[in-house]
Amino acid sequence: MGLAMLLIMVHHGRDFIPAGRMNNLVAFLYGGVDFFIFCSGIGCFFSYVSDRNPTAFLKRRAARIFPIYLAFMCYWLYVRFSRGGIPLQDVLGNLLCVQWLTGREPVFNWYMSFLLITYLLSPVFASLAEKADSLLKAASMMLALLVLTCAFWNSEQWPVITTRLPLFFAGMLFSAESKRRERLKCWELLLFLGLMLVGLGVLWKVHSYQSEILLWNYGMYWYPFLLVVPGACLFLALCAQLLERCTPGRWLITGISFVGKYTFEIFVTHCYALGRGILYYAVFSAIYAAVLHMASLVIRKAAGFAGRLICHGAKIS
């Protein structure tokens, strides 16, 4: 997930790269989000099946995300108010992570609505993934989900979310299969690598049409990554195994893993730092991510203290 976060930051910083082939290549790194979503599916699967309690799962995810998001939103809303105010309904929409779905501005980012939807769907997706104990069942479920996403085409808000749900589910399918067996067969690895190449070809082709209707309204910005990401993740896993054999490689993996621990902090801060110059983009993202993490710890401590006070008061009464 650390590598996916770095790809996203490079993509969002492409305005600092001169126009040309390099800029065109970096433009495709928005797929870092799709790598992140696939890995999120893996993480959410194992988090849910650890106790198979939907309420406990949602509490764990809220405890991880909301203190950071609340700390960031305090600053984001302060800036909005200082620029002329923001309606109460839009404050609530952003705090509750549904503002993107309303189609109203201002909105922080579409990804918060995606997180809300995937967390609510995770118990269902994880249960289905565990039942997909054959290739036919897994393919049937994936096809059904892909067909369902078609209902959300030609929308301003929904395609960026719904067309990525199959990839999130694919991460869960991989996780469920990893519980049944530890290794892929050679032909399976070759198949995923082949699908990755096909997906890259499809991605390049659909972008060559330069049709925003095709790319956004019909989800072709994101559908091809369903072919690309699983094989690419397997390829990167093989590369990581090779890198671990040398000291510089282990340092590189340690650094990427460190970034992976603070992906959400980096995500919200780097989004805010966009368009403010490359030095500000890099330095502000790092510093404010650290400040945001510390603020979230304070919020967690305060919430825990308040919870204990409420429980103590309930016992006394």
Give pLDDT tens digits for 238-266: 898 898 888 888 888 888 888 788 788 77
Asked whether the predicted pLDDT for residue 80 surpasses 80, the reply is yes
Other CB atoms within 10 Å distance of the CB of residue 142:
17
**pLDDT of 68:** 83
Question: How far is the C-alpha of 66 from the C-alpha of 79, rounded, in Å?
Answer: 20
**pLDDT of 185:** 86
Asked whether the predicted pLDDT for residue 286 surpasses 60, the reply is no
Mean pLDDT of the 103-121 span: 93
Asked whether the predicted pLDDT for residue 196 surpasses 60, the reply is yes
Among 66-70, 135-139, 187-191, 222-226, the range scoring the smallest mean pLDDT is 66-70
Mean pLDDT of the 278-307 span: 56
**pLDDT of 71:** 82
* Residue bearing the bigger pLDDT, 214 or 127: 127
Q: How far is CA 198 from CA 191, 224, 283, 307, in A?
A: 10, 9, 38, 52
Share above pLDDT 70 across residues of the chain, in percent, rounded to a whole number: 80
**pLDDT of 214:** 82
Q: Which residues contact 12 (CB under 8 A, 6 or more apart)?
A: 270, 271, 274
Cα Rg of the chain, angstroms: 21
Asked whether the predicted pLDDT for residue 316 surpasses 60, the reply is no
Selection from 112, 231, 224, 100 nearest residue 163 by Cα: 224
Judge whether 266 and 5 are in contact, CB under 8 Å.
yes
Question: Tens digits of per-residue pLDDT, 29-43?
Answer: 888 899 999 999 999
The count of domains in the chain is 1
Q: Among 167-171, 268-272, 305-309, which range has the highest average pLDDT?
A: 167-171
Question: How far is the C-alpha of 169 from the C-alpha of 219, rounded, in Å?
Answer: 17
Among 5-19, 102-116, 162-176, 284-298, the range scoring the smallest mean pLDDT is 284-298
Total-model pTM: 0.86
Asked whether the predicted pLDDT for residue 274 surpasses 80, the reply is no
**pLDDT of 314:** 45
Confidence class of residue 194 from pLDDT cuts 50, 70 and 90? Answer: very high
Asked whether the predicted pLDDT for residue 296 surpasses 70, the reply is no
Question: How far is the C-alpha of 230 from the C-alpha of 227, rounded, in Å?
Answer: 7
The boundaries of the domain holding residue 295 are: 2-316
